[in-house]
Amino acid sequence: MKLTNPEKLILVMLADIHQKLGIENSVDTKLLTSAIYSNNTWALSWELQGIVGDSPDPTPHEVSEVTDILDMWSSIEDAYATFVASEKKKIEAEADPFGTHVQFTGFDGNNETEHMSIDRNLLF
């Protein structure tokens, strides 16, 4: 979803009013403002399809890449959790130094800021 700067301003101002009035069980204003401030408006099309409809724009490549990475790590962590101690020991030895803490540590804020921004918006 592409928004013009005036549309972004209007939406942020409406979100502020929405939050100030304490309206609940409606649009997630935290998601809305986060998506606008981080320029990840694709998140609105993903989360609010019933309201905004499908985005005519394709999902940005970086978003697909982040979701693929997170899916991969989820599979790795789930599989590792099912291993017995002897299998975990083998992984420690063969994947040294990464085999001891098999967990996604997140994206690098210095070199992967766009990926980190996308990841944060996916958490909403």
**What is the per-residue pLDDT across 11-66, written as a single tens digit (0 to 9) for each?**
999 999 999 999 887 888 988 999 999 888 888 888 887 777 665 567 789 999 99
pLDDT at 53: 67
Q: What confidence tens digit (pLDDT) does each residue in 85-103 have?
A: 999 999 999 988 888 888 9
Task: Determine the Cα–Cα distance for residues 110 and 5; give it in Å rounded to an integer.
Answer: 27
CA atoms within 13 A of residue 83's CA, in its CB half-sphere: 17
The pLDDT value recorded for residue 44 is 85
Q: What is the pTM of this model?
A: 0.66
pLDDT band at 124 (very low <50, low <70, confident <90, very high): low
Please, is 110 exposed, middle or buried when counting C-beta atoms within 10 Å of its C-beta (0-12, 13-18, 19+)?
Answer: exposed
From the DSSP assignment, how many helices (H) and strands (E) are in the chain?
7, 0
